[in-house]
Chains A and B, each alone.
Chain A
Amino acid sequence: MLNLVRHNDNSRKIIQDGYSLLLVSHVSELLNQQLTLLDGFILDTDSHIHTQEIIRHVRTHANLKVALLPLFANGIYELSKQQLIHCDGFVELSTISSYIQRVAAITKRIKSIEEPKLVSNDLLIQYKTIAFCYTRNLQLTPTTSRESFIGYDFPFISLFYKETEAITLLNNLQKASEKNYFSCNLLDYIHLCKSCSGNYLNFRECCPKCKSIDIDAHDMVHHFVCAHVAPEKDFKKEDGLECPKCDKHLRHIGIDYDKPSIIYSCNSCSHEFQNPGMLSLCMDCGTENQLDELLQKTIGSYAITQKGEQILFQKNEINESRFKQEESIGNLSPSLFKIILNQEIKRINEFNGHSFFASIKFQNSQLELLNTTAKKGLMKEVGEIIKSYLKESDVLSAESYNNYYLLLPETKEKQLERLEQIEYNLSKLLSDNLIETKQEINISIHKIKGTDTIQTYLV
C-alpha cells in the first residue's frame, strides 16, 4: 500500500515499512529538507536539466551518508543512460514495497561505514566511490557518452569532475587501482588530443611528405600479356580499358588484367605513395595530432577489492598518512628540499662532509607542448628513473616537469657515475617517446662547501 504523505512544506514523501523516500521534481525541494533523516529519493520529473541537478546535488553532498542514499527514478519518466548510471534504477510507485528491501540493504551498509576525515580531494573521492560501490555491491562500469570529454561516464565518480577534468578522474581511478583498492577489468582504450585531452577527433589520411589531406587513391592495373602496369586512369578510354603499351582492349579481370595494388597521389606536392600518413584533428581545440602523439588511456570496469572494502571501516587518519607517505617517498617539495639543503650546508661547515648537489634540466620544444596531465606523467616517469639510482639517504625534489634537484650526502666521486646512468636513461626515455632527435639534458654537479648558501645552487 502506498503511503504518499504531503507535508506542510509541500514536500512529498512515501513512507513504507518505516522507510521514508522523498519524491523530488526540483532541486529546490531538497534545500529545506533534513536529508539525513531520509532513507532515499525518487526522481519525479521529466526535465533532463532538473534531473541532472537533483542527481548532482544528492551524489556530491558533503555528507557522505546523504550522498550514498538510494536514488530511484520514477518509472513513468524516461532517463538518459548517462543519468541512470548514478541512480539505483527505476521504481513503480504502485509497487513501491517491492523496492524497500533494496533500500534497507543500502541504508544498512551506509550505517556500517566510517565517515571520512581525509583532507586530500582525490583521496576523498576515492573513498566515496569505494563506499558507493560497497553499499550497492556494484562494479563501477562506465557507459559511453557523447557529452563526456573522454567519451565515457563512470557511475558516481564522474559527478565530482568537470568535463575538462576527465583525465584527472581516470588518473584517480588508476591510483586507486595501483593501491589495490580496485581491480580493473579492461574494456577499451581511448585516444585523446595531446593538447586538450579531448576525444572528439577527426581522423584523416594524409600525404606522408607534406601532410596535406588532399590525396587521391588510384587502383593499379596490370595487363598480363605485355606486363604493363600503371594507374587505372592511364588505361581508361571512353569504351572501357585499353592498354597504353600494346593498345589491346582489357575485357576481363583475372583473365586479361588484375589490380595488384593501390597508389595514392598528393594533389598538393605531387608525391606518390602507398602508405598514407594519418592525422587526427581535435574538434575542440583544433590541434593536429600525429597518431603516435595521441594520449592513450585505459577504460575499465572497477570492482572493489577486499583491501578497498577494509578502508571503509578503519580510522581514516591512518589511511591518509599512509597515502601521503606513499606519494611523497623520494620526492620532496622544493620548499622542504631547500630546508634540508640548508641544513646540509651548515652540517658541512661544521664537520667537513663530502656531499654533492646536482641539478638535472632538460629542454625540448616538444615537451612544452604537452598538456598538464602529460607533464605530470612525465614527471612521474623521470622521478622513477632517478629514484632507481639513488641511495636511501639521497634526496630528490622536482621544481617542475623539466627541472630536478638532488642532494647526495656523503658521496664519493666514483659514486657520481650514477648520474651518467641517469642521463643515459633519461635521454632514452625522451628519444623513445618524442620524435625530435636532439634531446638536451644538462646535469650539473656541485660539491657542497660550508661557505655556500642556498642561492649558490637554487636561483
Chain B
Amino acid sequence: MIFLSLHNLLPEYLNYWFVVGLQKFIRVFWYFVLFEFTRYIIIDYLVAFVFWLTGKTRREKFAIARQKLFSENPFVSVIIPGKNEGKHLYKLTKSLAEQTFKNFELIIVDDGSDDDTPIIGKNLEELGLIDMFIRNEMRGGKASAANLALRYSKGKYIVHLDADCSFDRDAIEKILIPFYLDKKIGAVGGNVKVRNYKESLCAKLQAIEYLKTVSVGRIITSYLGIYKIVSGAFGAFRKDIIDSIGGWDIGPGLDGDITVKMRKSGYKIYFQPEAICLTNAPSKFKVLTKQRLRWDKSIIRFRVRKHKDVYMPDANFNWSNFFSLAENVFYNVVLDILWWIYIIDIILNYSSQLQFIIPMNFTLYFIMSYVQMFSIYIFSERRKEEKYLWPYVSLMTIYTGTYLRIVRTIAYYKEFFFKRSYEDVWNPYKSSIKAKEAGL
C-alpha cells in the first residue's frame, strides 16, 4: 500500500526504470555507469577516503618540509611573462609584497605590448616594486617571454605567474614546500580558483568546473602520480631542471607541454591544493569558447602528437608517464568520441523510449554533480564562500555534459585534421609556422 502510494508520487520516467530493471538500466546508461560514475564518484571518494586516512602523516611531513624551506630560505625568481598586462601589475606587486615567503625577485617580461604596459613597468621598476622589467619591442609569444625571464632569473626555484592573478598570503610558501618533501619533485602546481564568480553565469559555472577539475581533479591525479599539467597561472619549477630541458616550447598549451617534458626527464610533478591563486575567468561564453578551443586543441597537438613517444614501449618507457597522458587522452579524446557513439546507439536502438531516457540521464548527472560538489566541499578551504555556487551546480550537466563537449569535439576535429592550433593568433605566426614545419 505504502509502496503503491510512493510509486504514484514519482514521475512516470522514474517508474519506468523501476519496472524495466537494473540490467536494462546499465545497458541504456552504459556510458554513465562505466566511465562517469566510476571515475568521478567511486575513484574520487576512494581517494578522498585514503587522503583523509593519510592526512595526519602528510601534515607532519609538510611541517618538516616547511621547516627545511625556512631554514634554507632559498632565493626564488617569480617570473611573469605577458602582453598588455600593465593594468594588473601594481595590484600584483602589492599582492606579492604581502607574501609570508619574502626571499624572491620579481621579473616581468613585456612581450611587445601595444598599450601603456612599458611605461607602467618601467615606473614600477624605478620605484623598486619590480626587480627587473624587460621589454621586447617585437612580440615573440608567451614561451619566448617566459624563456627570456628564465634567462635572467637567479633563483633556485622559478615561480611562474599570470599577471591578472592574486594570491593568498602564504601561496608562495605553500607552493615551495613540496620541493622539500621529495628530491624527485621537479615542479609543483598551484590551486587556481575563479575570483570573479559573481560576475556572470558563465563565470559561476567555470568556478564550479575549476573546483571539480582543477582543485579536486588534480588532488586525485597528483595522489595517483599521474598529475599532468602545472597551470601557467601559478606553478613552481626547479631552475636546474627547467634549464636542462630548455625552458618552454611554443604554445598554445605550453604549460601542459612543459609538465610532460619534466615528467619525461624523470621528475615527479606535485599538486599543492593549499597554494591558492585567484584568477579572472572569461565572463562571456563567446570568450570562453575561444579559450577552450585553444586549450582543447593543445591536447591533440602535444599529448597525441608531440609526446607520442610516451606510449611507445621503448627503453625510455615509464608507466607513470604513460598513465598520466593516457588518462588525459582517454578521458578527453576517447570518451568524447565514445559519447557521440553512445548518442548514436541510443537514437538507433531506443528512439521510442527517449521520453524516459533523456530525463533520467539528466537526473543522473544532476545527482552526480551534487555528489561531486560534496567531495569539493570536503577538500575545500573556502567552503563558506563556495556555498554561494551550490544552486548553480544543477546547470553543470548542460555546461560540461553538452556545451563543453561540443566545443571539445570541434577543437579535436580542427586540430586532428587541420592542425589549426598553429594558426592561433595567441602565438605569433612567425614562430607558429616554424613549429609546424618542425612538427613541434
B132 part of interface (Cβ distance < 8 Å): yes
Closest 9 CB pairs of A and B: A227-B143, A260-B136, A224-B431, A225-B434, A245-B246, A229-B148, A260-B138, A224-B434, A227-B144
Q: Verify A225–B435 contact, CB threshold 8 A.
A: yes
Q: Verify A227–B430 contact, CB threshold 8 A.
A: no
Q: Verify B151–A227 contact, CB threshold 8 A.
A: no
Q: Which of A245, A246, A255, A274 has the most chain B CB atoms inside 10 A of its CB?
A: A274
* B406-440 interface code vs A (CB 8 A; 1 in, 0 out): 00000000000000000000000011001101101
A374 part of interface (Cβ distance < 8 Å): no
The minimal Cβ–Cβ distance linking A402 to chain B, given in whole angstroms, is 29
B125 part of interface (Cβ distance < 8 Å): yes
Q: Verify B141–A258 contact, CB threshold 8 A.
A: no
Closest to A208 in B: B126
Residue from the list A225, A255, A275 in contact with B440, Cβ < 8 A? A225
Q: Which residues does chain B contribute within 8 Å of A260, judged by CB atoms?
A: 112, 136-140, 144
A46 part of interface (Cβ distance < 8 Å): no
Q: Verify B133–A274 contact, CB threshold 8 A.
A: yes
Q: Which of B101-138 contact A (CB under 8 A)?
A: 112, 122, 125, 132-138
Q: Known contacts being A245-B246, A272-B152, A275-B122, is A227 close to B137, with CB within 8 Å?
A: no
Expressed in whole angstroms, the Cα–Cα distance for A260 and B81 within the complex equals: 14
Closest to B433 in A: A224
* A218-232 interface code vs B (CB 8 A; 1 in, 0 out): 001010111111110
Expressed in whole angstroms, the Cα–Cα distance for A222 and B143 within the complex equals: 10
Expressed in whole angstroms, the Cα–Cα distance for A263 and B136 within the complex equals: 10
Q: List 10 A-B contacts (CB under 8 A).
A: A220-B148, A225-B250, A226-B250, A227-B147, A230-B148, A231-B151, A255-B430, A260-B136, A261-B137, A274-B133
The minimal Cβ–Cβ distance linking B192 to chain A, given in whole angstroms, is 23
Q: Known contacts being A227-B250, A227-B431, A258-B430, is A222 close to B144, with CB within 8 Å?
A: yes
B249 part of interface (Cβ distance < 8 Å): yes
A357 part of interface (Cβ distance < 8 Å): no
The number of A-B residue pairs with CB atoms under 8 Å apart is 80
Expressed in whole angstroms, the Cα–Cα distance for A355 and B119 within the complex equals: 52
Closest to B149 in A: A229
* A273-301 interface code vs B (CB 8 A; 1 in, 0 out): 11100000000000000000000000000
A78 part of interface (Cβ distance < 8 Å): no
Chain B residues in contact with chain A, CB under 8 A? 112, 122, 125, 132-141, 143-145, 147-148, 151-152, 246-250, 430-431, 434-435, 437-438, 440
Residue from the list A256, A272, A274 in contact with B434, Cβ < 8 A? A256
Expressed in whole angstroms, the Cα–Cα distance for A224 and B431 within the complex equals: 4
Q: Verify B151–A229 contact, CB threshold 8 A.
A: yes
The minimal Cβ–Cβ distance linking B175 to chain A, given in whole angstroms, is 24
Q: Which residues does chain A contribute within 8 Å of B112, judged by CB atoms?
A: 260
Q: Which residues does chain A contribute within 8 Å of B140, judged by CB atoms?
A: 222, 224, 227, 229, 258, 260
The minimal Cβ–Cβ distance linking B164 to chain A, given in whole angstroms, is 22
Expressed in whole angstroms, the Cα–Cα distance for A260 and B113 within the complex equals: 12
The minimal Cβ–Cβ distance linking A437 to chain B, given in whole angstroms, is 12
Q: Verify B246–A246 contact, CB threshold 8 A.
A: yes
Q: Verify A227–B135 contact, CB threshold 8 A.
A: no
Q: Which residues does chain B contribute within 8 Å of A275, judged by CB atoms?
A: 122, 125, 133
Expressed in whole angstroms, the Cα–Cα distance for A225 and B433 within the complex equals: 8
Closest to B436 in A: A225
Q: Which residues does chain B contribute within 8 Å of A222, judged by CB atoms?
A: 136, 138, 140, 144, 148
Q: Verify B132–A272 contact, CB threshold 8 A.
A: yes
Q: Verify A228–B434 contact, CB threshold 8 A.
A: no
Expressed in whole angstroms, the Cα–Cα distance for A259 and B125 within the complex equals: 23
Residue from the list B136, B435, B437 in contact with A261, Cβ < 8 A? B136
Q: Verify A227–B134 contact, CB threshold 8 A.
A: no
* A78-94 interface code vs B (CB 8 A; 1 in, 0 out): 00000000000000000
Q: Known contacts being A220-B148, A272-B152, is A227 close to B136, with CB within 8 Å?
A: no
Q: How many residues of A contact B (CB 8 A)?
A: 24
Q: Verify A227–B122 contact, CB threshold 8 A.
A: no
List 17 additional contacts besides A220-B148, A224-B430; criterion CB under 8 Å.
A225-B431, A226-B440, A227-B140, A227-B144, A227-B247, A227-B249, A227-B250, A228-B147, A229-B145, A229-B147, A229-B151, A231-B151, A245-B246, A258-B138, A258-B140, A260-B136, A260-B139
Q: Which residues does chain B contribute within 8 Å of A230, judged by CB atoms?
A: 147-148, 151
Q: Which residues does chain B contribute within 8 Å of A263, judged by CB atoms?
A: 134, 152
Q: Verify A274–B151 contact, CB threshold 8 A.
A: no
Q: Known contacts being A260-B138, A261-B136, A272-B152, is A226 close to B430, with CB within 8 Å?
A: no
Q: Which residues does chain A contribute within 8 Å of B438, judged by CB atoms?
A: 225
Q: Which of A318-350 contact B (CB under 8 A)?
A: none
The minimal Cβ–Cβ distance linking B440 to chain A, given in whole angstroms, is 7
Q: Which residues does chain A contribute within 8 Å of B250, judged by CB atoms?
A: 225-227
Closest to A270 in B: B154
Expressed in whole angstroms, the Cα–Cα distance for A225 and B431 within the complex equals: 6
Q: Verify B249–A226 contact, CB threshold 8 A.
A: yes
The minimal Cβ–Cβ distance linking B137 to chain A, given in whole angstroms, is 6
Q: Which residues does chain B contribute within 8 Å of A256, judged by CB atoms?
A: 434
Expressed in whole angstroms, the Cα–Cα distance for A260 and B122 within the complex equals: 17
Q: Which of A223-269 contact B (CB under 8 A)?
A: 224-231, 245-246, 254-256, 258-261, 263
Q: Which residues does chain A contribute within 8 Å of B138, judged by CB atoms?
A: 222, 258-261
Q: Verify A261–B431 contact, CB threshold 8 A.
A: no
Q: Which residues does chain B contribute within 8 Å of A254, judged by CB atoms?
A: 430
Q: Verify B248–A227 contact, CB threshold 8 A.
A: yes
Expressed in whole angstroms, the Cα–Cα distance for A254 and B435 within the complex equals: 15
Expressed in whole angstroms, the Cα–Cα distance for A358 and B381 within the complex equals: 61
Q: Which residues does chain A contribute within 8 Å of B248, judged by CB atoms?
A: 227
Closest to A248 in B: B438
Q: Verify A228–B125 contact, CB threshold 8 A.
A: no
Q: Which residues does chain B contribute within 8 Å of A231, judged by CB atoms?
A: 151
Q: Verify A229–B122 contact, CB threshold 8 A.
A: no
Q: Which residues does chain A contribute within 8 Å of B435, judged by CB atoms?
A: 224-225
Closest to A259 in B: B138
Residue from the list A220, A228, A258, A274 in contact with B247, Cβ < 8 A? A228
The minimal Cβ–Cβ distance linking B71 to chain A, given in whole angstroms, is 27
Q: Which residues does chain A contribute within 8 Å of B440, judged by CB atoms?
A: 225-226
Expressed in whole angstroms, the Cα–Cα distance for A256 and B430 within the complex equals: 8
Expressed in whole angstroms, the Cα–Cα distance for A254 and B132 within the complex equals: 27
Closest to A245 in B: B246
Expressed in whole angstroms, the Cα–Cα distance for A260 and B435 within the complex equals: 19
Q: Verify A220–B125 contact, CB threshold 8 A.
A: no
The minimal Cβ–Cβ distance linking A322 to chain B, given in whole angstroms, is 48
Q: Which residues does chain A contribute within 8 Å of B144, judged by CB atoms?
A: 222, 227-229, 260
Closest to B250 in A: A227
Q: Verify B135–A274 contact, CB threshold 8 A.
A: yes
Expressed in whole angstroms, the Cα–Cα distance for A139 and B139 within the complex equals: 53
Closest to A271 in B: B132
The minimal Cβ–Cβ distance linking B118 to chain A, given in whole angstroms, is 10
Q: Which residues does chain B contribute within 8 Å of A261, judged by CB atoms?
A: 134-138
Q: Verify A220–B246 contact, CB threshold 8 A.
A: no
Expressed in whole angstroms, the Cα–Cα distance for A254 and B429 within the complex equals: 11
Expressed in whole angstroms, the Cα–Cα distance for A254 and B147 within the complex equals: 19
Q: Which residues does chain A contribute within 8 Å of B151, judged by CB atoms?
A: 229-231
Closest to B150 in A: A229
The minimal Cβ–Cβ distance linking B421 to chain A, given in whole angstroms, is 15
Expressed in whole angstroms, the Cα–Cα distance for A224 and B248 within the complex equals: 12
Expressed in whole angstroms, the Cα–Cα distance for A103 and B132 within the complex equals: 68
The minimal Cβ–Cβ distance linking A271 to chain B, given in whole angstroms, is 9
Expressed in whole angstroms, the Cα–Cα distance for A231 and B147 within the complex equals: 12
Expressed in whole angstroms, the Cα–Cα distance for A260 and B152 within the complex equals: 15
Q: Which of A230, A254, A261 has the most chain B CB atoms inside 10 A of its CB?
A: A261
Closest to B438 in A: A225
